[in-house]
Structure 1
Amino acid sequence: MDQSPEAPKQTPMAKEIAADLRGKITGPDREYAPGDRLPAARALAKQLGVQLMTVQSAYGQLRDEGLVLTQQGRGTFVRDPDVPLGTEPGSSPAFTALAAELSTIHDALHSLGERLERLERIVGTETPPSP
């Protein structure tokens, strides 16, 4: 959140804080790599001159996007994009539910594929009807 000395200091909103951190996580000049801990919410709130809830809301936005994980008592960490969503401690509950649902769908599709292969083998062994 760069502020020019001439501009009046504005209090950033949660979406602006999230956008700034998102750039530091995913941008070309990234400051945070997977596994890095983000600043403590209280410290960042004090630094930016905002309420703690504002920073917590920004962190919540990033968590819901799958960019960070929050671990109770440890902090907020940049998520490793190579690890499937919803499988690590601190994942968004929405991603955890989505991962479980996708796993169920994957299993059902695999089962349907096997059934289709069996049907194609059965049909392939029959002689076609004559005209």
Structure 2
Amino acid sequence: MESALPGLAPFERVAAAIRDAIVTGNEWSPGDQLPSNRALADRYEVSLPTLQRAVGVLREEGWLVSRGSVGVFVADPLPEQKRSETLAELRETVSTLRSDLAALEQRVSAIERSDH
């Protein structure tokens, strides 16, 4: 499992990965059934309780629905909250912010030098 989200608990990283897979449509789309909890726990290399906690969070947020004795499905329609950014989009945003910050630091340094 990718640990590109430092500071998050394992269940939060799993929830983010599943949410990302739904938002991008790379794995699941609205109405699709997810693999079993055990299969998902193996896939994300976490314990079954950790996976179940992640699924619980996603159910509370409206991303997933459970159908007793049938399984867990991607909600259809997806929740009407702000669209979550994908991990790739977040990385790109951070990269852009870093370069903008560097440019601002250079401008401030130039202004400070010209004042003295």
Coarse TM-score class (shorter-chain normalised): 0.5 to 0.7
2:75 is the counterpart of 1:61: no
Q: TM-score, normalised by structure 2?
A: 0.55
Q: Which runs of 5+ in 2 are unaligned?
A: 4-8, 80-116
Q: Distance in 1 between matches of 2:62 and 2:43?
A: 25
Task: Indicate conservation of the 8 Å contact 2:14/2:44, yes or no.
Answer: no
Bigger CA radius of gyration: 1
Alignment partner, residue 72 of structure 2: 76
Q: Which runs of 5+ in 1 are unaligned?
A: 4-11, 84-131
Q: State, as a whole percentage, how many aligned pairs show the same letter.
A: 41
Alignment partner, residue 93 of structure 1: none
Which is bigger in relative contact order (C-alpha 8 A, separation at least 6)?
2
User: Match for 2:18 among 6, 18, 21?
Assistant: 21
- CA shift, 1:31, in A, is 2.0
Q: How many residues are matched?
A: 75
Q: Deviations over 1:32-84 (max 9, x none)?
A: 1111011210112133332111111111111011011011221110011179x
Runs (4 or more) in structure 1 with deviation over 4 Å come to: none
CA RMSD in angstroms comes to 2.5
